[in-house]
Amino acid sequence: MNKIILSVLFISSSILSAHAATWTGKASYYSGGGRTASGARFNPGGLTAAHRSLPFGTHLRVTNLGNGRSVQVTVNDRGPFIRSRLIDMSRGAADALGFRRAGTARVKIEVVEK
């Protein structure tokens, strides 16, 4: 009986994960220093991002809905710490998306399959 329940839970979470592979919300950028939460050295010019819960190493396609620009980033840090924001981008990613001067942008985030 426990095997059946676990199987149902696994199938349900897999289905939810497939549907939850795209989000829309506000992105910001940060230019920290030192090490990220994953232990990697922070590279402000790199194409990386901070997300509250996605696993480190997750590849995302982030599209700026204001100008249509898109970039692929890798999650290597935790954040953002402002509740209304969905993701924090490195300075390099914000430049690629064209929103660094504005500070924030409305974006679509998609998980990219490896």
* 52 assigned to some structural domain: yes
Residue 97 structural domain: 22-111
Q: What is the pLDDT of residue 10?
A: 40
How confident is the model over 78-95, as a mean pLDDT? 96
Domain CATH code at residue 87: 2.40.40.10
Which whole-number Å values give the CA distances from 44 to 9, 31, 92, in the listed order? 40, 6, 6
* 1 assigned to some structural domain: no
* 8 assigned to some structural domain: no
Q: What is the rounded distance in angstroms from the CA atom of residue 60 to the CA atom of residue 26?
A: 15
Residue position matching structure tokens 């969905």: 86
| Domain count along the chain | 1
* 4 assigned to some structural domain: no
* 34 assigned to some structural domain: yes
Using 50, 70 and 90 to split pLDDT, how confident is the model at 114? low
More confident residue, 71 or 4: 71
Question: Following DSSP, what letter does each residue of 39-89 receive, concatenated?
Answer: SPBP-TTSSEEE-SSSPTT-EEEEEETTT--EEEEEEEE----STTEEEEE
- 22 φ/ψ angles, rounded to the nearest 5 degrees: -135, 135
Q: What is the pLDDT of residue 32?
A: 79
* 9 assigned to some structural domain: no
pTM attached to this predicted model? 0.80
* Predicted confidence (pLDDT) per residue in 18-77, tens digit: 445 899 999 999 987 899 999 999 999 999 999 999 999 999 999 999 999 999 999 999
* 7 assigned to some structural domain: no
